[in-house]
Amino acid sequence: MDEDISAVRARYQAALEKGASIEEATRVANAAANQPLVVREPGELPPPPSAPKADHPPQERTVRPVEASQPFDHDGDGKPGGSSKPDDDADEIKAVRAEYQEKMGKRPFPGWGIDELRKRMAEAG
């Protein structure tokens, strides 16, 4: 390209300022830069392809009923959120956790219940 891009851009903007359409300004800028002019003329488009025909009838969709309760209702109160209260007695679980920590030398996993803690202490000896 012989000419600087900024000069081509300046000719394009000057043509626009004189009232030329975008297409005319493009022709001026391209002709000044000795570039081949690419103009796409609107024309007839072919019709879109037809949809392929199915060899089998469409299948029926199964619609599952929406649950009456909230999907995230963990404690059964009808509202999302919350958590179920553990069945174990709070004082008993604290005592078993303290016993585990004393025997094993480390704190127990908070998700373990009384049965799991006792099982792991029995396995350890």
User: 53 in a domain, yes or no?
Assistant: no
Q: pTM of the full predicted structure?
A: 0.33
User: 62 in a domain, yes or no?
Assistant: no
| pLDDT tens, residue by residue, 81-92 | 776 665 557 889
What integer pLDDT is reported at residue 64 of this predicted model? 65
CA angle 22, 25, 26 (to 5 degrees): 85
CA 87/CA 98 separation, integer angstroms: 19
| pLDDT tens, residue by residue, 37-82 | 566 677 787 888 887 776 766 677 776 665 555 677 767 777 777 7
| pLDDT tens, residue by residue, 10-25 | 888 888 898 888 888 8
User: 116 in a domain, yes or no?
Assistant: yes
User: 83 in a domain, yes or no?
Assistant: no
More confident site: 42 or 94: 94
Domain count, the chain: 2
Positive/negative CA dihedral, 47, 49, 55, 60: negative
User: 22 in a domain, yes or no?
Assistant: yes
What integer pLDDT is reported at residue 102 of this predicted model? 94
Burial class, 118, CB count within 10 angstroms (exposed 0-12 / middle 13-18 / buried 19+) = middle
User: 24 in a domain, yes or no?
Assistant: yes
Q: What domain range is 33 assigned to?
A: 1-38
User: 20 in a domain, yes or no?
Assistant: yes
User: 29 in a domain, yes or no?
Assistant: yes
